[in-house]
Chains A and B, each alone.
Chain A
């Protein structure tokens, strides 16, 4: 696949997935919107956002404030590049695709923290602090469960991991891994019960001072991040492009949509976890469970 082809594929995937997520989130919101108005909601909202100017605060850091949303979207794209969408890549896959994905997801911390720091305002700053505490708490479980799928496949390349699931999907071998993955992935994409940086107890948190194109870019970046983590989740746990009748890329789309909608269901129906509770949960519950998952996976592979 040429570089341009990969870029097009990834862009289409992220934009389409962001649209699906926006519509699903709107339908879950509980207000009396029909399906038709929910389908046009993202377009209308983006149009209004592009009509607004980008607001300024007193002495913000302009360069960082505009760089952070771009960085977020770019990291989502980098993470998505590691996943083969349509089938085995003819020229071979990225040899360390899982590590590329893990690195991209953990650099999200830098993007979100910068975005909270740049406006020179209290609520975005607190949102940035919270996200730093969150990622430091679940970074290790996140990386561990993603790496446990590499153990039975004996490779860090995502293409090889997908091919190794031709007999049995990994979610059936280690279901604990998918559960921990979904929780930590939703936390890195600060979604649902984990949207602490953007919480309503901070009047919007890191986006409280943003408007206009900057806000639109940030929202897109966050939705693209959700799509990327769903894409990787279905590749390493649900068998990627493997499937009986339909072509490979369609299976990928269906499985990604399944994970994406599953995560979207938690968006407005679960309460936000307190930051102390989250830190405790990450270290005291998720980390030991992730270690157990690693041991189980290694024992099953040997």
Chain B
């Protein structure tokens, strides 16, 4: 056996690095995939061997997914999960089953491509420079001043004042759409000075198509069981907490939150409390979230669900539903309004939701055109909470350091599937 086959023999049973492009309707499924054995969902496509395209994407997503595919180094293979025609990029295999089935398929494809049983996928885009060279003289020297012309088609960065009054250079960069710290499909064009963002512009949000209507979308049309609504809310918040913990680098507690999101049942308030204790032990508040992302007082947060309630606004449509009032529902609020308050707010709402689900019996709620979904208030015919947040992003994110910006965007819990569609997809 040559060296390559020896390495392949060792690598083929190892953990599969997967880069997941998450489309409509598969957000929860990717969370469950993180728990699958032998699968590691990575943040950068360069570290991945398998590109998993899950859920429905729009036509505008084609270009970016092809870029991500070509960024993957080494033996690569594409697996599709659960979306109908038309496909965005050619996929070796498509799966329509559940998590265990797609995990088995991923492991099998990885095994085959590493050992060479199937050829690795070729790049989809031609390998040419994005912009042609247009400098003057050798190395672009010999033009005006210190550089000649615009080498590589890029002009020198402009200068702009920073918060201390210095005139520093700015780097305009487009981040997204499959950046691991952002909701899938969000593209922000930012002007960076070092790691501080001075300007933000939301470029595109329509890469992720809406998935099949979840229980909250159905609740807009007809009353649904409170038990189903609250358990879906608890699972949504627990998955959100797992993502927040991953972004903050607390992998161990993030896995606990993912497991709890799968295993939780009505009335199980204790496991949520234990999870919060583990979160407090990880020092998430003093290290990462304290006083980060406090919204200015003139920013309208009504209707944004947990974001509003974390800023001490008891704004919750569930108080006007008879079914909820029967089981003694009171809105939970926090005082600080920062990212930690939003984290504890969602944890408290998850615990409350589980308790409500245990007490709800067969009561129903909503069904008259509005619903209090986990990311806020949805009304038929009005902009969704995600629309409201996205319209605010360019003002509230200015001046933040990059890590704080990622924390802030995540704490606002933007549901990309409901942007300009008007229906929640939980």
A–B contact with Cβ pairs below 8 Å: the answer is: yes
Residues of B contacting A212 with CB < 8 Å?
73-74
Given A51-B8, A201-B247, answer yes or no on A276-B15 (Cβ-Cβ < 8 Å).
Answer: no
Q: Is B92 an interface residue (CB 8 A)?
A: no
Complex CA gap A29/B252 in Å reads: 5
Which residues on A sit within 8 Å (CB–CB) of B407? 201
Assess A201 versus B402: contact at CB under 8 Å? Given A41-B14, A44-B14, A269-B250: yes
* A302: min CB distance to chain B, Å: 37
Chain A residues, CB < 8 A from B147? none
Give chain B residues whose Cβ lies under 8 Å from the Cβ of A196.
403
Known: A126-B195, A270-B283. A210 touches B246 (CB 8 A): no
A44 to B6, CA, bound (A): 11
Residues of B within 8 A of A211 (CB): 46-47, 73-74
Complex contact A122–B403 (CB within 8 A): no
Asked if B255 contacts A30 (CB within 8 A), the reply is yes
Are the CB atoms of A268 and B251 closer together than 8 Å? yes
Determine if B173 is an interface residue (Cβ-Cβ < 8 Å). yes
Min distance, Cβ B314 to any Cβ of chain A, angstroms = 29
Residue pair A30, B282 in contact (C-beta under 8 Å): no
Give the residue of A55, A268, A271 whose beta carbon is less than 8 angstroms from that of B288: A271
Q: Compute how far the CA of A100 lies from the CA of B341 in the bound complex, rounded to whole angstroms.
A: 46
Complexed CA–CA distance, A195 and B292 (Å): 19
B37 interface residue, CB < 8 Å from A? yes
The smallest C-beta distance from B11 to any residue of chain A, in angstroms, reads: 4
Complex interface: chain A residues within 8 A of B404 (CB): 274
Assess the A58–B129 pair: CB atoms within 8 A. yes
Q: Which of B207-254 contact A (CB under 8 A)?
A: 245-254
Q: Are A271 and B44 in contact (CB under 8 A)?
A: no
Does A277 touch B at the CB level, under 8 Å? yes
Q: Counting CB contacts under 8 A, is A152 at the interface?
A: no
In the complex, what distance in Å separates the CA atom of A215 from the CA atom of B74? Answer: 13
Q: In the bound complex, what is the Cα–Cα distance between A269 and B171 (angstroms)?
A: 34
- Is there contact, CB below 8 Å, between A271 and B74? no
> A203 at the A/B interface (Cβ < 8 Å)?
yes
- For A274, list chain B residues within 8 Å (CB): 287-288, 292, 401, 403-404
Q: State which size class the interface on B falls in.
A: 35 or more
Which of A129, A193, A204, A274 has its CB near the most chain B CB atoms (within 10 A)? A274
| Contact status of A201 and B403, CB under 8 A, knowing A44-B11, A47-B14 | yes
Q: Confirm or deny: A2 has a beta carbon within 8 angstroms of a beta carbon on chain B.
A: no
Most chain A beta-carbon contacts within 10 A, residue among B256, B282, B403: B403
Given A45-B14, A130-B195, are A271 and B248 also a contact pair (CB < 8 Å)?
yes
User: In the complex, A210→B73 CA distance in Å?
Assistant: 9
Q: By the criterion CB–CB under 8 Å, are B180 and A203 in contact?
A: yes
Enumerate chain A residues within 8 angstroms of B130, measured Cβ to Cβ.
Answer: 58
B13 A44 Cβ-Cβ under 8 A: yes
The answer on a CB contact under 8 Å between A51 and B249 is no
The smallest beta-carbon distance between A58 and chain B, in angstroms, is 7
Roughly how many angstroms separate A193 CA and B74 CA in the complex, as a whole number?
31
Chain B residues near A187: list those with CB within 8 A.
Answer: none
Q: Assess whether B171 is in contact with A271, with CB atoms less than 8 Å apart.
A: no
**Binary CB contact string for chain A from 4 to 24 against chain B (1 if under 8 A, 0 otherwise):** 000000000000000000000
Contact between B73 and A30, CB atoms less than 8 A apart: no
Q: Report yes or no: A48 in contact with B282, Cβ–Cβ below 8 A.
A: no
Q: Judge whether B171 and A122 touch: CB under 8 Å.
A: yes
Query: Is the pair A50, B7 in contact by a Cβ cutoff of 8 Å?
Result: yes
Complex contacts, A36 vs chain B, CB 8 Å: none
Cross-chain contact of A200 among B14, B180, B252, B255 (Cβ < 8 A): B180
Tell me, yes or no, whether B71 is within 8 Å of chain A by CB: yes
Q: How far is the CA of A55 from the CA of B68 in the complex (A)?
A: 13
Determine if B43 and A52 form an interchain contact, defined as CB atoms under 8 angstroms apart.
Answer: no
Interface string of B367-389 (1 = CB under 8 A from A): 00000000000000000000000
A78 — which chain B residues lie within 8 A by C-beta? Answer: none
User: Smallest CB–CB gap between A205 and chain B, Å?
Assistant: 9
Q: Does B284 sit within 8 A of A, measured CB to CB? A: yes
Task: Determine whether the beta carbon of B253 is less than 8 Å from that of A30.
Answer: yes
Bound-state CA distance A207–B195 (Å) is 17
CB-based contact B195/A199 at 8 Å = no
Q: Is A293 an interface position by the 8 A CB rule?
A: no
Could you give, for residues 45-56 of chain B, a 1 whenever the CB lies within 8 Å of some chain A CB and a 0 otherwise?
Answer: 011010000000
- How close is A156's CB to chain B, nearest CB, in angstroms? 35
Known: A51-B7, A51-B11, A51-B74. A209 touches B402 (CB 8 A): no
Task: Select which of A32, A53, A207 is within 8 A of B74 by beta carbon.
Answer: A53
Which residues of A have CB within 8 Å of B37?
Answer: 31-32
Residues of A within 8 A of B287 (CB): 193, 270-274, 277
* A179 contacts chain B at the CB level, 8 A cutoff: no
Produce 1/0 per residue, B29-44, CB < 8 A to A.
0000001010000111
B74 touches A52 (CB 8 A): yes
Q: Can you pick out 15 interface pairs between chain A and chain B where the beta carbons lie within 8 Å of each other?
A: A32-B37, A41-B15, A47-B10, A122-B171, A122-B173, A130-B195, A201-B402, A208-B43, A208-B44, A268-B250, A269-B281, A270-B287, A271-B283, A272-B249, A272-B288
Chain A interface (Cβ < 8 Å from any Cβ of B) = 28-32, 41, 43-45, 47-48, 50-55, 58-59, 122, 126, 129-130, 193, 195-196, 199-204, 207-212, 215, 268-277
